[in-house]
Chains A and B, each alone.
Chain A
Amino acid sequence: MRLKLYRAADTAEAIALVRAELGGDALILSSRRVQGGVEVTAALEPDTEPPPAPLPAPDPRRAAAFVWHGVPAGLARRLEAGPLPFALSAVLRFEKLALGDAAPPLMVVGPPGAGKTLTVARLAARLVMAGTAPMVVTADGKRAGAAEQLAAFTRLLGLQLLVASAPAALSRALARREAGAPVLIDTPGTDPFEAGQREDIAALAATAGARLAVVLPAGLDVGEATDLAGAYATCGARLLAATRLDLARRIGAVLAAAGAGLALAEAGIGPGAADGLVPMTPDLLATRLMRVPQLSAAGTGARPT
């Protein structure tokens, strides 16, 4: 940009000077009164000058992978520097699920069909295999077959399933908690964009003194995942269990949901009831992100040779 100041007796005269010297494309940026007339600041952006080329990404493979996965641009930019697991751990939050003796109950929430019940079943299986029998509660007593689905798992694990759909019933169920037993609470699929449903979630969580983990499938639309994570965060959710990482190819939604304020806790990586859910780690996520078909061509617009 070329910038020039012109002084003249009046504005018309100043503008004439600008046009005479810089031409019709010049832009008057400002004008102010000075002693003896006006001062006009004019600018010209020569159109012969090509727009600056963006600085190349530090790691073009990574940049291409982010584009392919649909990682939001602002987030992708913050994940550019350094080794990817390192960058992920600095920009996003990772948190190991606390399910020990003193841990508060864990309540699992999410939209219908996200994999909440299977997540609860897998966490219960993990605890049983580690020698602890958790208390398993479902707040989904209304939907046909919902409790039966979880009951099928708890039977296999030798656990009892309690059904408690309302805060009062949940409170009664929790009164039967054995000292030190971890508590897992399943909930019906919810629409967190509806204030009434957010209030229901918050009421159940408050009754149980529970931490909320959101279950979202990895292959969700990125914008949808961002909105859902943000909406659940407003009713107190802080944790994320990303399911179906084995079935989705593009997993930008996982990063987007984490970027919207949820800590990455669990990853659904396979069909196994016991080993299909593992703690999410920066290394696991980094490996999964860089697994892109034809990475050399993806997102770069490169032509096949």
Chain B
Amino acid sequence: MTAATTLGPPVPVPVPAPARAGRILAVASGKGGVGKTWFAITLAHALARAGERVLLFDGDLGLANVDIQLGLTPAHDLASVVDGRIGLAAAAQAHEGGFAILAGRSGSGALSQLPPATLEDLLAALRQESTRLDRVVLDLGAGLDRSVRRMSGFADTLLVVATEEPTSLTDAYAALKLHAADVPAGEARVVVNQASSRTAGERTYATLARACRSFLGRAPALAGVVRRDDRVREAIRRQTLFLTRHPTAPAAADVEAIAAGLRCP
């Protein structure tokens, strides 16, 4: 035991290595059509390429389309998990991109009215599964219904995808506002997609951050800017992974930079 002498100034607490961004990342946008699903897929791919064990979870309960965007015909999907026919881990399928995918039930809306208790069980199973992984990327549906809100708050980190359009900014703000109400100490970051240039994207972020700071009292950090690239549309049309098809495209470098930033903040 130390002999107490004088009470000096408090000794700074040694802090263990800073925790990196949360294991469960949700990707939301409020508005549809801003490239959210494309971004979620490409981010999962970028994290996997950086060596992480990643699960991409299609959390768009109304109109899932991760599987469509990648041209998959999954043997199992979220609906089978919700029915209890198969466990969450077993329903996920390995993708050639080096990450696992748990597909939604595309085009049926079968899961859109999931009862809250069922959603909780599903999230608990996802949390459990996340302990065996480095990262779960949760692609959320458009809109801000109860389940989108719940999954945004459930995630360790929320990524809100926005574009330069005023409608997208307004909806991204609405998503951030609900997140702030649900999880006052939660972490949210902004991704500006389809930016005409990096500077323009940063300006879009600054606009959104200013609104958040003024009206919500806090502003999310910028996760990164993804520059507009016509090859994105082409890769989606061909149902292929963007980083595989266009590894040297500026948009590929942008998503990889965001992945790197999430790995070491």
Contact = CB atoms under 8 A, between A and B. Distances in A.
- A and B pair up: yes
Nearest to B12: A193
Contact of A58 (B120, B128, B170): B120
Contact of B170 (A3, A74, A192): A3
B211 A82 contact: no
Contact of A230 (B15, B214, B215): B15
A193 B14 CA distance: 7
Contacts of A95: none
Interface string B179-215: 0011111100000000000000001001100110011
A230 B13 contact: yes
B1 A55 contact: no
Contact of B211 (A27, A54, A91, A234): A27
A52 interface: yes
B113 to A, nearest CB: 17
A230 B1 contact: no
Interface in B150-188: 150, 153-154, 156, 166, 169-170, 173-174, 177-178, 181-186
A90 B149 contact: no
Contacts of A195: 14
A191 interface: yes
Contact of A51 (B123, B127, B153, B181): B181
B148 to A, nearest CB: 11
A81 B120 contact: yes
A87 interface: yes
B187 to A, nearest CB: 9
Interface string A81-120: 1110011011100000000000000000000100000000
Nearest to A226: B13
Contacts of B2: 191, 194, 197
A80 interface: yes
A192 B13 CA distance: 9
A82 B124 CA distance: 5
Nearest to A194: B11
A87 B125 CA distance: 9
B234 interface: no
Given A29-B211, A81-B120, A1 B173 contact: yes
B116 interface: yes
B107 to A, nearest CB: 27
A81 B124 CA distance: 5
A112 B13 contact: no
B127 A91 contact: yes
A43 B11 contact: no
B170 A1 contact: yes
B240 interface: no
Nearest to A227: B13
Nearest to A79: B127
B131 interface: yes
B14 A230 contact: yes
Interface in A30-45: 30, 32, 41, 43, 45
A197 B2 CA distance: 9
A203 interface: no
Contact of B156 (A2, A29, A78): A78
A41 B207 CA distance: 8
B20 interface: no
Contacts of B184: 73
Contacts of B207: 29-30, 41
B211 A81 contact: no
Contacts of B210: 27, 29-30
A231 B166 contact: no
B203 A30 contact: yes
Interface in A170-214: 188-189, 191-195, 197-198
A53 B184 CA distance: 12
A5 interface: yes
A89 B174 CA distance: 34
Interface of A: 1-5, 27, 29-30, 32, 41, 43, 45, 51-55, 58, 73-74, 77-78, 80-83, 86-87, 89-91, 112, 143, 188-189, 191-195, 197-198, 227, 230-231, 233-234, 260-261
Closest 10 CB pairs of A and B: A82-B124, A81-B123, A81-B124, A90-B128, A45-B215, A30-B207, A52-B181, A90-B127, A234-B14, A193-B11
26 contacts: A3-B211, A4-B166, A27-B215, A30-B206, A41-B166, A45-B215, A52-B178, A53-B181, A55-B150, A55-B153, A77-B154, A77-B183, A81-B123, A82-B120, A82-B123, A82-B125, A82-B127, A90-B130, A112-B1, A192-B14, A193-B11, A197-B2, A198-B14, A230-B14, A231-B14, A260-B16
